[in-house]
Amino acid sequence: MKSNKPVQFDGRTGEGGGQLVRIACALSAVTLQPIRVYHVRGNREGHRGGGLKAQHVAAIQWLADATQAEVEGLSVGSHTVEFKPTLPPTALKSRKYEIVAGSSASSTLLIFQAIFPYLLYAGNEAGDPVELEIHGGTNTSFSPSFEYLDQVLLPTLHDRFGINVERQVKKRSWASGPRSQGSIWLRIQTLLLGHSLKLQEPWNKPITVEDFKIKRIDVSILVPPTLREPLQNALTNDIGQLFPEVDIRFVVDEDSGHDARMYTLLVAHSQTGLRWGQDYLYDRPRRKKTPEALSAEISRKVCKDLYKEISIRGVVDEYLQDQMVVFQALAEGRTSFPRGIELIHPSTESKSPGEVGDLEASLKDLKLGDRMRKDKTDDPFGEGSTHTTTVRWAAARLLPGAQWFNKGTICDGAGISFP
């Protein structure tokens, strides 16, 4: 029997931004546990401001309507919000929804992040999918891009958990240049009644050298026409130097529609199907930089960031790791998505992603879970970014049936399902 007393969250904890509010409301809606978040976005005071933003209000309002929740403090700028859901995901009747954010700068991707877990469990007897259209920004600062969702997050969720989501960007909307509202469309295949999320392959599948051999890098660029050719050339050259003999594919090459709109995403694919993404939404003044100089600057940064990410030798990238936590905690069984592999021979840390060196010898002795040390979850914990440690903490509070071990690298999930 769940308590009617709200689980309290201090919004200044850990990352202290909008992520905590989104995850807390998302898991509250799934578990029907009331929550109260105070000092909302308490670490975002100053030029970015604290309190709820329009995108948070849009997401929470949709969840409130779907769960017939009692809500207090749901307004833009509010520093305290209380959310008490009453209906489980399986009570969702309609199979088609539309959400309109209060601002064209509101991220459609962050709204989706907040309601996705609830929709995933909204199965019915017929097994019908749920169709969703979200209106707002598609390429905004401090938010994943649609390209990252499409090429990294959703493919990984499909490969690892069998989650199926069709998706399409219907109209782009940027935080820079002339403002207009964009939209994304998604069709979510819900879990069958009585079923839980399950890992599609053994959680402790041996990590091999092949996991870190890059076979292909997919490139997406959304830039003004004057930058398209010079940026293609710069990326081809820089990728070729850092990742010799790797295939390069330009999968998205579009006119961004304005000189202030410049976005680049690189997704590296390994021989065994792992993927890592790094992107760059250029938000600096262009000034009098030539297209060639600007392209070189963008290319150097995103290529260097990808190289550094793969050199860490984790099975996920920094951004993917924090977004996998919720699904780990909800799922049945054991999962592990470490971002860094602790190698036996320190010399291997200096090897490039394309070099083997002593890595093979190190991996032979690496056995995940040989020594299981249970994590304390009173505060943000484990390895990874501040976003990752914060969402682990929030998930642990609302899903006490999930257990975490070895600095957050191993999770025994709660195995949530609905009859």
Domains and CATH numbers, the chain: 7-188 (3.65.10.20), 209-311 (3.30.360.20), 318-412 (no CATH)
Question: Rounded to an integer, what distance in angstroms lies between the CA atom of residue 255 and that of residue 415?
Answer: 44
Indicate the pLDDT class of residue 378, thresholds 50, 70 and 90: very high
104-123 pLDDT tens trace? 778 999 999 999 999 999 99
Mean predicted confidence (pLDDT) in 218-226: 97
Percent of the chain beyond pLDDT 90? 78
Q: Please list, residue by residue across 140-157, b when 16 or more beta carbons sit within 10 angstroms of its beta carbon and e when fewer do.
A: beebbbbbbbbbbbbbbb
Of 128-142, 163-177, 284-298, 325-339, the poorest mean pLDDT is in 284-298
Q: To the nearest 5 percent, what fractions of the chain are helix, strand and coil?
A: 35, 20, 45
Q: What distances in angstroms separate CA 217 from CA 66, 220, 244, 265, 266, one per listed residue?
A: 40, 10, 11, 10, 7
Mean pLDDT of 44-54: 75
pTM (global) more than 0.85:
yes
Q: Which residues contact 156 (CB under 8 A, 6 or more apart)?
A: 275, 316, 320, 324
Phi and psi, residue 14, nearest 5°:
60, -125
- Residue 296 in tokens: 């070189």
